[in-house]
């Protein structure tokens, strides 16, 4: 219960950050990716601010604590090598991101805006995730390599 | 310079939220992973995932009430393209194990090579798509 409450609070804070940062404005996202046109560098500051803050606090948290406050262990993250699956997935994601200007976080936040295109986008995004699950469960030849651990 | 202050503050807020999720829940704030895991949640995984995604939507409701101007108009018009983009984002983030948050923020912050490659890849295909749509095709 406490864990769900904290996750909900983190979600709200994350969403406010996305809105303040400009990630919920598809035109700004497209402007950021439009390096050959009227490039808008603003969103680079969102990524730098988020990454810098997380890098700093993450180190501090992992140094100070043996376990999270409400969970038994910190996530074990491997150092698996990049592979074709990773690159193909990221490539497809980038194409969809550039097309509509929504990545998953801002898309969920935009559901709160009540705008129809955002709702349709999120429905399709969830559909894409379901398609992936069906595709992943397809019968495969035994030689195919093991799936990469989830992050 | 002042136009870069809101993006920077927004980013810091995102970093704080991700740190809270790590400190309290021991979880990585990868939105596509959290949301994707809702579709077939392992035992005991439903509540926190639903609460986090609910929090994202709830934050959107707050923004709508307080700062509705943060929601810009969509850049793609037409249901077909919107659905195509959504399918690509949903399928691609699951296949590539992450999106802008999981790889682009959390993964890069811990120096993960996989996240570095993924972030580089989606930046490049995103930019290529924008170039193709807006400079070659002249918009859709």
Tens of pLDDT, residue by residue over A70-87, are: 999 998 877 889 999 999
3-state secondary structure of B29: coil
**CB within 8 Å of B45: residues ≥ 6 apart:** B37
Task: Tell me what pLDDT residue A86 has.
Answer: 98
Partner-chain contact A151 B123, CB within 8 Å: no
Residue B116, judged by CB atoms within 10 A of its CB (0-12, 13-18, 19+), counts as: middle
Tens of pLDDT, residue by residue over A86-141, are: 999 999 999 999 999 999 999 999 999 999 999 999 999 999 999 999 999 877 66
The shortest C-alpha distance from B1 to chain A (Å) reads 10
Among B1, B3, B5, B12, the strongest candidate for a mutation testing the A interface, having the largest count of A CBs within 10 A, is B12
- The number of angstroms, rounded, from the C-alpha of B2 to the middle of its chain's C-alpha atoms is 25
- Tens digit of each residue's pLDDT, chain B (140 residues): 788 999 999 999 999 999 999 999 999 999 999 999 999 888 889 999 999 999 999 999 999 999 999 999 999 889 999 999 999 999 999 999 999 999 999 999 999 999 999 999 999 999 999 999 999 998 77
User: What is the rounded CA–CA span in Å between residue B105 and residue B112?
Assistant: 11
Q: Give buried/exposed letters for B23-32 (b at 16+ CB in 10 A, else e).
A: bbbbbbbbbb
Q: Who among A51, A88, A114 is closest to B109 (CB)?
A: A51
Report the complex ipTM: 0.96
User: What is the rounded CA–CA span in Å between residue A35 and residue A33?
Assistant: 6
User: What is the rounded CA–CA span in Å between residue B126 and residue A151?
Assistant: 22
Measured between CB atoms, does A132 come within 8 Å of chain B?
yes
Partner-chain contact A94 B129, CB within 8 Å: yes
Mean pLDDT taken over chain A: 93
Task: Tell me what pLDDT residue B113 has.
Answer: 96
What is the pTM (predicted TM-score) of this model?
0.93
List the alpha helices (DSSP H) in chain A: 2-21, 26-33, 42-64, 84-100, 104-111, 116-136
Partner-chain contact A96 B88, CB within 8 Å: yes
């Amino acid at each position: 219960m406490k864990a769900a409450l904290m996750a909900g609070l983190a979600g709200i804070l994350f969403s406010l950050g996305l809105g303040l940062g400009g990630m919920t404005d598809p035109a700004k996202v497209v402007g950021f990716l439009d390096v050959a046109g009227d490039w808008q560098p603003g969103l680079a500051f969102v990524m730098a601010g988020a990454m810098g803050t997380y890098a700093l606090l993450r180190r501090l948290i992992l140094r100070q604590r043996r376990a999270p406050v409400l969970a038994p262990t910190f996530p074990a993250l491997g150092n698996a090598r990049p592979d074709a699956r990773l690159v193909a997935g990221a490539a497809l994601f980038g194409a969809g991101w550039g097309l509509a200007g929504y990545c998953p976080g801002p898309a969920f936040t935009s559901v709160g805006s009540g705008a129809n295109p955002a709702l349709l986008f999120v429905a399709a995004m969830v559909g894409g995730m379901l398609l992936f699950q069906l595709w992943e469960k397809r019968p495969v030849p035994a030689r195919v390599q093991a799936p990469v651990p989830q992050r | 310079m002042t136009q870069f202050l809101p993006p920077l503050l927004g980013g810091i807020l995102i970093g704080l939220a991700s740190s809270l999720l790590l400190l309290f829940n021991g979880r990585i704030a990868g939105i596509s992973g959290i949301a994707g895991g809702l579709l077939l949640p392992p035992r005991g995984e439903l509540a926190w995932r639903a609460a986090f995604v609910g929090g994202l939507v709830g934050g959107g409701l707050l923004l709508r009430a307080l700062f509705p101007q943060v929601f810009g108009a969509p850049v793609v018009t037409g249901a077909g393209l919107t659905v195509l983009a959504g399918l690509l984002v949903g399928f691609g983030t699951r296949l590539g194990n992450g999106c802008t948050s999981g790889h682009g923020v959390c993964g890069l912050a811990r120096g993960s090579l996989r996240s570095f490659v993924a972030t580089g890849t989606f930046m490049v295909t995103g930019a290529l798509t924008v170039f193709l749509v807006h400079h070659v095709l002249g918009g859709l």
